[in-house]
Amino acid sequence: MPLEEYNKKRDLLKTKEPEGKMKKSNDGNTYVIQEHHARNLHYDLRLEMDGVLRSWAIPKEPPKDPKTKRLAVETEDHPVDYAGFEGTIPEGEYGAGKVKIWDSGTFELIDRKEDKLIIRINGKKLKGEFVLIRARFGGDRKNWLFFKKKEDSE
């Protein structure tokens, strides 16, 4: 069950987060980054794939410059409806803190392999080709690197 972990971690009556059900958006390629003021400020990258939002937590502001690489830690899948979620998750609940949309739009999947995704983001803040590649450090398969691809004209 793709959203089983999401549902286990939340009391949706208390958090007002969207119910964990699989579905597709109208266009099927939703992209969002949510600024999440939890224990530590981080940014949640979410990409719609296979009826859910695949999700990564990025500890620092997402990269706009191709020279900047960011750690992106894979987290549990979220329901597609989460792409529009903003609000405050109450203290004592999983992910407690304020969530607001930092950037949103659509993305195009250019290449998808087990350890690498190449996407073209069409957001308000992020635009262009970006790469998610599974990191080879730390022995944790949840660690990825997220960065903007250098454009041919740069």
- Reduced 3-state DSSP string for 88-123: EECCCCCCCEEEEEEEEEEEEEEEEECCEEEEEEEE
| pTM for this model (two decimals) | 0.92
In this prediction, residue 138 has a pLDDT band, given cuts at 50, 70 and 90, of low
**Average pLDDT of 72-83?**
96
**Overall residue count recorded for the chain in this entry:** 154
End-to-end Cα separation, the chain, in angstroms: 43
pLDDT band at 152 (very low <50, low <70, confident <90, very high): low
Mean pLDDT of 123-127: 97
What residues are paired with 71 via a beta bridge?
145
Query: Which has the closest alpha carbon to 119: 56, 60, 76, 77?
Result: 56
Q: What is the pLDDT of residues 7-51, one digit of tens each?
A: 999 998 899 999 888 887 778 899 999 999 999 999 999 999 999
